[in-house]
Amino acid sequence: MHQYWFWIGHFPVRAYSTIFAAAFLLGLGAVLYFARADGKSEYVPHFWNMAPGLLIGGLVGARFWQVFFFDWPYYRQNPAEIPAIWHGGLSIQGGVTGAFLVALWYVWRHRLDLWVMADIVAPGLLLGQSIGRDANLMNGDAFGDPTHHDFGLLYPEGTLARMTYGDQPLWPAEVWEGQADVILFALLLILKQRRWPKGFLFAYYLVAYNAVRFLLEMLRGDSPRYLFHWDAAQWTAAPLVLAGLVLAVYVFWRDRRRTPSPAETAERPGEPD
């Protein structure tokens, strides 16, 4: 864990900010690659056009979620920290929501196919999220609860994890989530080898990522707990898993309605061979 790479005069070059930027750029690169690889090159200019808006919408959504859903008691006492995104505190779920709202507006304005674009974006989301968890590790946030054993992550002085739990070993929740994202990314590449209804790959992302997130949040130690001892991320993940399942059922139902049955495709009586 290393919060600063180096200093330029009095200006710190932070690990969190640079890794976050790398996560966004590499995620965007994956999206552009898969758009071309999937034969959807006509969408590439649109992704370039959307990129600044997605970044801004993602940042706003990520910070909004973190401040008002995840850690409002802290920010209520420290309002000057609300705009300080360079200190960490960006919610993945809020970022995806903010970027999705920007994408909805862009797709509506340009009359594009939302679900085709969502399927193209899904691998880039998982790749970017995995790299983003490295930013959390380097910054010492998004940390786990104490393991109460002689194994776990030990955070250095100056990190929020150290200030919260001292020298206790903590569950590597953010590390495991980043590794899980890599596995989900690999499984998605396998799924892409065959044809699926439009929207299914994005539904896979919603269900798989949020199910993993829900489980790993049980090990987190940096967020308040609410009803059922769930934190805000779990209360966000549960409805998103449900939304992904509903979307998967819908896209298969829609695809089945649009696929002609054998009887419909059979040659009609009286038509020439």
Residue 270 lies in a domain: no
Angle (CA) 225 168 131, round 5°: 70
pLDDT of residue 45: 97
Residue 268 lies in a domain: no
Residue 199 CA, chain-centre distance (Å), reads 17
- Pick the residue with more confidence: 85 or 144? 144
- Pick the residue with more confidence: 223 or 264? 223
> For the packed helices 44-65 and 15-37, what is the interaxial angle rounded to 10 degrees?
140
Domain containing 132 equals 4-258
- Indicate whether 268 pLDDT > 60: no
Mean pLDDT, range 157-180, rounded to an integer: 93
Residue 263 lies in a domain: no
pLDDT of residue 273: 46
SS3 145: coil
pLDDT of residue 49: 97
Model confidence at 261, pLDDT cuts 50, 70, 90, reads low
Mean pLDDT, range 196-214, rounded to an integer: 97
158, 146, 247: which is closest to 196 by C-alpha? 247
Nearest 10 degrees: CA dihedral of 122, 126, 128, 131? -170
Residue 273 lies in a domain: no
Residue 264 lies in a domain: no
Residue 271 lies in a domain: no
**Arithmetic mean of pLDDT over the chain:** 90
Q: Which residues pair with 144 in a beta bridge?
A: 220
- Indicate whether 106 pLDDT > 70: yes
Q: What percent of the chain has pLDDT over 90?
A: 70
Residue 165 lies in a domain: yes
Model confidence at 111, pLDDT cuts 50, 70, 90, reads very high
- Indicate whether 105 pLDDT > 50: yes
Q: Which residues pair with 170 in a beta bridge?
A: 146, 153
Mean pLDDT, range 167-192, rounded to an integer: 97
Residue 133 annotated as binding site: yes
pLDDT of residue 147: 96
Q: State the pTM of this model.
A: 0.89
User: How many domains are contained in the chain?
Assistant: 1
Model confidence at 259, pLDDT cuts 50, 70, 90, reads low
